[in-house]
Amino acid sequence: MARLEDLKEGASVKGVRPDGPIIVINVKWHGDAVVELTYKDASGKPGNDLLFRDRESMLEIIEPGQSWSFDADAGMLRLVSEAYRIGMAYLFDPLLAVHTSLIDPLPHQITAVYEEMLPRQPLRFLLADDPGAGKTIMAGLLIKELMVRGDLARCLIVCPGNLADQWQDELYQRLQLPFKILTNDMLETSITGNVFQEIPLLIARLDKLSRNENVQIKLKQTEWDLIICDEAHKMSASFFGGEIKETKRRKLGRLLSELTRHFLLMTATPHNGKEEDFQLFMALLDGDRFEGRFRDGVHVADSSDVMRRMVKEDLFKFDGTPLFPERLAYSVTYRLSDQEAVLYEQVTNYVREEFNRADTLENEGRKGTVGFALTILQRRLASSPESIYQSLRRRRERLESRLREEELLKRGATTRFGPAGWVPTITEEDLEDLEDATNSEVEETEEKIIDLATASQTIAELQAEIQILKKLEALALQVRRSGQDKKWEELSRLLQDNSEMFDADGSRRKLVIFTEYKDTLKYLTDRITSLIGRADSVVNIHGSIGREDRKKAEEAFKQDKTVQILVATDAAGEGINLQRAHLMVNYDLPWNPNRIEQRFGRIHRIGQTEVCHLWNLVAEETREGDVYLTLLRKLEAEREALGGAVFDVLGKAIGSAEFRKLMIEAIRYGDRPEVRARLTQQVEEAWTRSI
């Protein structure tokens, strides 16, 4: 420590400036406690400062002629040296993130990160490998490498709500990256008023950002080193009437693209079969290059330098053997019993008539809501006798309650009334959002709408509809009590007679069964338990169970030998790894063909060693069954030529919105031979375009 009196002209002093010693040029006293010091720093730049007595403890006079010494803090020297060494570590270990993470790297993951993405400065890239190829791990390795290189301090990950927990878990457990998930509490209790400024490593749910303009205003005020968008195809756009039709998600995608230097899009389904829509999607990465409407013969569609797409059949281990085993799919067809056929025809007629009545509604939102409710009713009809009976019963009870409310208002039988205020309206964009919502959100929306949405506009119309529902409910109850369920009989035969269900010792192999609805899930659980004879042999996963219970069911299925069958809704298709099993049954087929691949991807993923088998149950001679059978038979016919890549083609062949329209058209007009022929031709043409 030096005193102010020790400061003399020409002295070398440490502690005046933090960046090194200074040379005193002049000393001027102000009283006996303050010195005005004029000096020059190590580079010769002059400076001036007032020094008070309380600064004396920081001052040190360096002896003349000594520019450095060995009397500094040794611990600080070691800390600085170690920090510098770590900062340069990537120069000596080209795979530093791999070697400091709890992962078993694979060739395609290393090439994606270290050959495709890291060399790009700035990074604007689309990673489009197949589901189950480990894209989350690749993104984590990229984040960690950019951190090590000092190129990343702030990172935002945007993903569908059902995947946020999986992202957080994998990044922390495997790569020790402590990301936080954005919540409403964080938004409301932010110290600065903008939580995006406060948290450098953040995961945000796609729809929380896209639907909330106030959140977007805060987001616009921030900058990020890297933004990653998972399931990025949800941010795509399309041309309609010569203009670009943009969704809220698309607008969010454009905003995110402007807020970051590095921008990574991730999706297993980048292409919906329309080249012009794909070019619009790629414009998120490079708006100049992919500007304008794509036209064959005019534009060049090559985007290979800004994207990578690898299907499972092209992925290998380090020893050159295939990473994924073969995957096989089979169509298991059945015919409805006489009673089931009568129920099917009458419910379908009810659905068709209600669709026709909905077309007369002036309110487009209400029309969409009624249409959505009717499609759910039709899908539950195809699911199981239990599901359609419970749905008809609940719908009848809720509409009767609605009728009592309207009658209490003493309105005339012909007085028109609007939709129930608590029934949300459903638009085409909302339907697209539901495709990506969590299973619990889908179940909640479906239950609310299917029981209340009606095209009836007067008390008399509502009374008539309730009478129809009573007849259908009674018929469904007869079918339920009869015990005749051809679909269950096919599954029972599969469980008992198919050799793949048993190992060499005769023990039952683990099996995953997917259904769409909780009523069917409970129905199947009861029947399978009775068939096998042990209550502990079956576990369930559906959208209404909590995260912890779902994890317990997953672990019981994977680890407990006595648990042989998992019956699940699409909640089990949300971030769960089930490669402990290699057998799967689609008891209900989704109206989005991409979901077949997503479900299959639960068992056909990294770590699977057995050939995977999938059985799809389809009812012959039903309107929607005919459409699906056409698609599945094309899949089987092309399997030998395309190998497992046929599932990749299936995802590109026909989009969810297009397929949903085909199914609705089949329900409404499928009794006409010319319509059936046209629908079959449309499916075949879509398949041909995708190959």
At residue 456 the predicted structure's pLDDT band, cuts being 50, 70 and 90, is confident
Q: Is 485 left (phi over 0), alpha (psi -120 to 50) or beta?
A: beta
Please name the residue that has the structure tokens 């085909």: 662
At residue 421 the predicted structure's pLDDT band, cuts being 50, 70 and 90, is very low
Cα-based distances in Å from 46 to 6, 15, 29, 37, 40: 20, 16, 19, 11, 4
When the candidates are 2.120.10.30, 3.40.50.1820, 2.30.30.30, 3.90.440.10, the CATH number that belongs to 4-71 is 2.30.30.30
pLDDT of residue 242 exceeding 80: no
Q: Which residue has the higher pLDDT, 409 or 649?
A: 409
CA 226 to the chain's CA centroid: 19
Cα separation, 504 vs 385, whole angstroms: 36
pLDDT of residue 689 exceeding 70: no
Q: Would you tell me how many other CB atoms lie within 10 Å of the CB of residue 41? A: 15
Structure tokens at 65: 């002629």
Q: Which residue has the higher pLDDT, 558 or 278?
A: 558
CATH architecture entry for 90-314: 3-Layer(aba) Sandwich (3.40)
Instruction: Point out the least confidently predicted range of 1-5, 563-567, 687-691.
Output: 687-691
Cα-based distances in Å from 644 to 51, 108, 600, 651: 77, 18, 12, 12
pLDDT of residue 419 exceeding 60: no
pLDDT of residue 304 exceeding 70: yes
pLDDT of residue 418 exceeding 60: no
Please name the residue that has the structure tokens 């569609």: 301
At residue 415 the predicted structure's pLDDT band, cuts being 50, 70 and 90, is low
Average pLDDT taken over every residue of the chain: 83
**pLDDT more than 90, % of the chain:** 36
At residue 401 the predicted structure's pLDDT band, cuts being 50, 70 and 90, is confident
Structure tokens at 262: 């590095």
CA geometry: angle at 95 spanning 90 and 97, to 5°? 85
- β-strand pairing of 612-619 with 327-334: parallel
CA 420 to the chain's CA centroid: 32
Structure tokens at 221: 């005020």
At residue 490 the predicted structure's pLDDT band, cuts being 50, 70 and 90, is very high
Please name the residue that has the structure tokens 């500007």: 291
At residue 103 the predicted structure's pLDDT band, cuts being 50, 70 and 90, is confident
Furthest-apart CA pair in the chain: how many Å? Answer: 110
What confidence score (pLDDT) does residue 653 get? Answer: 58
Domain with CATH 3.40.50.10810 in the chain: 90-314
Asked whether the beta carbons of 587 and 513 are under 8 A apart, the reply is yes
Q: Which residue has the higher pLDDT, 645 or 482?
A: 482
pLDDT of residue 566 exceeding 50: yes
DSSP 458: B
CA geometry: angle at 356 spanning 239 and 667, to 5°? 75
Region 309-318: what's the mean pLDDT? 86
Asked whether the beta carbons of 107 and 166 are under 8 A apart, the reply is no
550, amino acid identity: R
Cα separation, 624 vs 240, whole angstroms: 27
Instruction: Point out the least confidently predicted range of 234-248, 289-303, 461-475.
Output: 289-303
Domain with CATH 2.30.30.30 in the chain: 4-71
Tens-digit pLDDT profile for residues 571-588? 766 667 888 999 999 999
At residue 502 the predicted structure's pLDDT band, cuts being 50, 70 and 90, is very high
Instruction: Report whether the peptide linkage leading into residue 64 is cis, meaning its omega lies within 30 degrees of zero.
Output: no
Region 233-237: what's the mean pLDDT? 84
Give the residue from 159, 165, 162, 167 showing the smallest Cα distance to 138: 167
Collapsed DSSP state (helix, strand, coil) of residue 221: coil
Cα-based distances in Å from 325 to 131, 264, 453, 520, 613: 14, 29, 46, 31, 11
What confidence score (pLDDT) does residue 247 get? Answer: 84
pLDDT of residue 422 exceeding 50: no
Domain with CATH 3.40.50.300 in the chain: 327-334+485-690
Cα separation, 408 vs 420, whole angstroms: 15
**pLDDT more than 70, % of the chain:** 85
pLDDT of residue 69 exceeding 50: yes
* 243-249 CB contacts, 8 Å cutoff, 24+ apart: 244/280, 247/210, 247/429, 247/432, 248/210, 248/211, 248/429, 249/206, 249/207, 249/210
Q: Which residue has the higher pLDDT, 662 or 651?
A: 662
Asked whether the beta carbons of 6 and 23 are under 8 A apart, the reply is no
Tens-digit pLDDT profile for residues 133-182? 889 999 999 999 999 888 999 999 999 887 888 899 999 999 999 999 99
At residue 198 the predicted structure's pLDDT band, cuts being 50, 70 and 90, is very high
The runs of H, that is alpha helices, within 533-655 are: 547-559, 594-600, 623-642, 646-653
Collapsed DSSP state (helix, strand, coil) of residue 159: strand
What confidence score (pLDDT) does residue 301 get? Answer: 59
Region 402-412: what's the mean pLDDT? 73
Q: Is 392 exposed, middle or buried (0-12, 13-18, 19+ CB in 10 A)?
A: buried
Is 327-334+485-690 in CATH node 3.40.50.300? yes
Residue 285: how many CA atoms within 13 Å on its side-chain side? Answer: 25
Tens-digit pLDDT profile for residues 357-377? 887 776 666 677 788 788 888
Tens-digit pLDDT profile for residues 538-556? 999 987 887 788 889 989 9
Q: Which residue has the higher pLDDT, 675 or 624?
A: 624
pLDDT of residue 669 exceeding 70: yes
Tens-digit pLDDT profile for residues 326-348? 888 888 999 999 999 999 999 99
At residue 411 the predicted structure's pLDDT band, cuts being 50, 70 and 90, is low
Instruction: Point out the least confidently predicted range of 229-243, 260-274, 285-299, 450-464.
Output: 285-299
* Residues in Cβ contact with 115 at an 8 Å cutoff, skipping those fewer than 6 apart: none
680, amino acid identity: T
Cα separation, 636 vs 275, whole angstroms: 26
* Residues in Cβ contact with 434 at an 8 Å cutoff, skipping those fewer than 6 apart: 441, 442, 445
* 356-359 CB contacts, 8 Å cutoff, 24+ apart: 356/668, 357/455, 357/456, 358/455
Going across the sheet that includes 180-181, the strands are 180-181, 201-205, 155-159, 224-230, 260-266, 124-127, 307-308
